[in-house]
């Protein structure tokens, strides 16, 4: 698990043209959910294309600890024998969710309305992240939570023995909080309602419907009003996990920045709650062709042909786009460094409570690579140096954050001098084949 072993420095050196096909692994959000919803169904859910990153493996272990039978049959092929809504047993030991905010927050929601107690922990990164955003709404069901100061892990959650349904307006745009409340609502009698002002990724809603839950989404002046009827019997499903657009972002952005590149990235989600980066890149002048639009695993996808784009321009990223590209700002800030003019990213304070403070991590690393950056609590502004204009020659701190590590590796592929990261091991949480996949395209990545 990241953060428990030796730090693994990695260096990216200026690369020749990237060429070939980048088949990125399964979507992390959908992988977590297929295991958790599978555990809530009665009978056997089959999953193909599951992301075998550490975050998801930790969720698989957690589902076993709560009583589900989770079996790996082969690469990405898994089955889950669920225990039914409300069927979780009390785990005999602490649940370690590793580096995963999604894992811990969704699982807390899932057990919150059963008469069991569980204690959660995680790595040094996850133990810094706020859990009150989930335990506050869960308390409305009757759940109690006892954690460290500031609502931090380790935390013991005492499930509500007689849960009541809840109506909750999200104070922050967060699919994790929305999903935790919906998962808790599954085992509360009556209707649980979640209202989100800004739409966030909608995988929980899509998948709950697929598993047979009664759920409606109404678009109103207040935002999306999601109503879930409690105590359904969920039907097991066959889930084909589509590829992860957040992982695809790394080869896509690398190909845009490395001279002479021309790659294909098949099956990239065009789900409107996930595709903000791709819209932004196109507005900046990226050469991306969206080919063969179709449905895969219940998600709209397209094959992307991506070519070196030396004439990208900085833009103002619309604030309301933030939830649909929240995990992509680190790599966008690298692209911005190679564009002309400034790229302004506002309304991004959520980046400060991810695996690391991503505004700070990107600002410090880009500055060390010779890029001028401005920031405040909610804003990141990158002053671009144009294609090939970034100096590099720095070692950047990743702070146990996979997206920071991969972003600076992309930066090094196109900078004048090599860029290193102090620890690339967190990449295993979401994109375990990153190194080999990028090398196969032609990138020069080395250990140390």
Ligand X SMILES: O=C(O)C1=C[C@@H](OP(=O)(O)O)[C@@H](O)[C@H](O)C1
Q: Which residues bind ligand PEP (CB under 6 A)?
A: 28, 100-102, 327, 354-355, 403, 430
* Chain position carrying tokens 């403070």: 357
Q: Cβ closer to ligand PEP: 27 or 299?
A: 27
Give the nearest residue (CB) to ligand PEP. Answer: 101
Among 2, 8, 11, 176, binds ligand X (CB under 6 A): 176
Among 18, 175, 284, 345, binds ligand X (CB under 6 A): 175
| 34, 54, 102, 280: residue in contact with ligand X (rule CB under 6 A) | 102
Q: How far is the CB of 63 from ligand PEP (least distance, A)?
A: 16
Determine which helix (DSSP H) or strand (DSSP E) holds 336, and give its type and residue range: helix 329-337
Counting residues that bind ligand X (by CB under 6 A) gives 11
Number of Cβ within a 10 Å radius of residue 368: 17
Residue 325 has, within 13 A of its CA and on its CB side, a CA count of 25
| CB neighbourhood size of 134 (10 A) | 28
The least distance separating ligand X from the CB of residue 179, rounded to whole angstroms, comes to: 6
The DSSP line for 147-174 is EETTTEEEEEEE--SS----EEE-SS--
Helix (H) or strand (E) holding 380: strand 379-385
**Terminus-to-terminus CA distance in the chain, angstroms?**
19
Q: Min. distance of Cβ 274 from ligand X in angstroms?
A: 10
CB of 31 to ligand X, least distance (A): 9
Which of these is catalytic: 58, 287, 327, 401? 327
Q: Is 201 one of the binding residues for ligand X (CB under 6 A)?
A: yes
Is residue 28 marked as binding? Answer: yes
Compute how many other C-beta atoms are within 10 angstroms of the C-beta atom of residue 91. 18
Contact between 100 and ligand X per CB under 6 A: no
- Binding partner at 343 among ligand PEP, ligand X, none, C-beta below 5 to 8 Å by kind: none
Burial class (CB in 10 A: 0-12, 13-18, 19+), 295: exposed
Rounded CA separation 307/405 (Å): 23
136 is catalytic: no
Tokens, residue 153: 């892990």
Q: Which two tokens stand for residue 380?
A: 């990141």
Give min distance, CB of 312 to ligand X, in A: 25
User: In whole angstroms, how close is the CB of 271 to ligand X at the nearest point?
Assistant: 12
DSSP 328: G
* Residue 274 assigned ligand-binding role: no
Under 8 Å between Cβ of 268 and 21: no
Q: Which of ligand X, ligand PEP, none has residue 113 at its interface (CB below 5 to 8 Å by kind)? A: none
The response to whether 129 counts as a known ligand-binding position is yes
Token pair for 198: 């800004």
- What are the CA-CA distances from residue 378 to residues 171, 349, 360, 397 (Å)? 16, 4, 11, 21
Tell me the two tokens of residue 259. Answer: 């001279």
- Please report, as residue ranges, which positions from 311 to 340 form the binding site for ligand X (by CB under 6 A): 326-327
Q: Among candidates 255, 248, 281, 338, which has minimal Cα distance to 17?
A: 255
Helices H / strands E in the chain, number of each: 12, 24
Q: Smaller CB distance to ligand X: residue 201 or 364? A: 201
Q: Which is nearer to ligand X, 331 or 394 (CB)?
A: 331
Instruction: Indicate which of ligand PEP, ligand X, none lies near residue 110 (CB less than 5 to 8 Å, by partner kind).
Output: none
Closer to ligand PEP by CB, 28 or 178: give it: 28
Helical H segments across 114-165, by residue range: 132-141
Site string for ligand X, 145-174 (x = CB under 6 A): -----------------------------x
**DSSP bridge pairs for 72:** 78
| 287 is annotated as contributing to ligand binding | no
Closest approach, Cβ 100 to ligand X, in A, equals 9
Task: Give 353 or 368: the residue with its C-beta nearer to ligand X.
Answer: 353
d(Cα 158, Cα 246) in Å, to the nearest integer? Answer: 34
Considering the complex, state which of residue 28 and residue 133 has its C-beta at the smaller distance from ligand PEP.
28
Q: Which does residue 400 bind out of ligand PEP, ligand X, none, counting CB within 5 to 8 angstroms by kind?
A: none
Could you list the active site residues? 327
- Which residue ranges make up the site for ligand X (CB under 6 A)? 29, 101-102, 174-176, 179, 201, 326-327, 350
> Which positions make up the binding site?
28-29, 33, 101, 129, 174, 176, 327, 354, 358, 403
> Which positions make up the binding site for phosphoenolpyruvate?
28, 101, 129, 176, 358, 403
């Amino acid at each position: 698990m990241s953060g428990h072993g030796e730090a693994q420095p990695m260096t990216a050196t200026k690369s020749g043209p990237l060429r070939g096909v980048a088949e990125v692994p399964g979507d992390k959000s959908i992988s977590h959910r297929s295991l958790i919803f599978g555990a809530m169904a009665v009978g056997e859910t089959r999953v193909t294309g599951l992301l075998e990153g550490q975050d998801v493996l930790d969720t698989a272990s957690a589902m076993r600890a709560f009583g589900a039978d989770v079996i790996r049959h082969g690469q990405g092929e898994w089955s889950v024998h669920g225990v039914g809504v409300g069927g979780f047993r009390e785990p005999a030991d602490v649940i370690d969710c590793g580096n995963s905010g999604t894992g811990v927050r969704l699982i807390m929601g899932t057990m919150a309305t059963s008469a069991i107690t569980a204690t959660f922990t995680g790595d040094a990164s996850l133990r810094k992240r706020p859990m009150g955003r989930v335990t506050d709404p869960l308390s409305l069901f009757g759940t109690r939570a006892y954690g460290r100061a500031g609502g931090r892990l380790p935390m013991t959650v005492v499930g509500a023995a007689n849960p009541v349904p809840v109506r909750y307006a999200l104070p922050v745009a967060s699919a994790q909080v929305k999903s935790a409340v919906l998962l808790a609502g599954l085992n509360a009698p009556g209707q649980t309602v979640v209202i989100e002002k800004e739409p966030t990724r909608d995988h929980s809603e899509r998948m709950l419907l697929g598993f047979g839950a009664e759920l409606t989404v109404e678009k109103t002046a207040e935002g999306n009003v999601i109503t879930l009827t409690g105590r359904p019997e969920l039907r097991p499903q066959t889930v084909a996990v589509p590829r992860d657009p957040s992982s695809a972002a790394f080869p896509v952005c690398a190909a845009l920045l490395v001279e002479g590149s021309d790659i294909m990235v098949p099956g990239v989600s065009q789900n409107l709650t996930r595709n903000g980066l791709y819209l932004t890149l196109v507005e900046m002048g990226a050469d991306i062709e969206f080919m063969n639009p179709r449905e895969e695993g219940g998600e709209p996808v397209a094959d992307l042909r991506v070519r070196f784009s030396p004439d990208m321009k900085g833009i103002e990223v619309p604030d309301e786009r933030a939830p649909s590209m929240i995990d992509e700002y680190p790599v966008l800030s690298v692209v911005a460094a190679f564009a002309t003019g400034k790229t302004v990213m506002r309304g991004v304070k959520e980046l400060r409570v991810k695996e690391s403070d991503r505004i700070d991590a990107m600002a410090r690393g880009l500055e060390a690579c010779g890029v001028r950056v401005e920031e405040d609590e909610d804003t990141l502004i990158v002053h671009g140096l144009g294609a090939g204009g970034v100096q590099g020659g720095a070692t950047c701190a990743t702070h146990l954050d996979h997206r920071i590590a991969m972003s600076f590796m992309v930066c090094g592929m196109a900078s004048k001098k090599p860029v290193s990261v102090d620890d690339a091991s967190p990449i295993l949480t979401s994109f375990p084949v990153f190194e080999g996949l990028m090398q196969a395209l032609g990138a020069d990545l080395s250990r140390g």
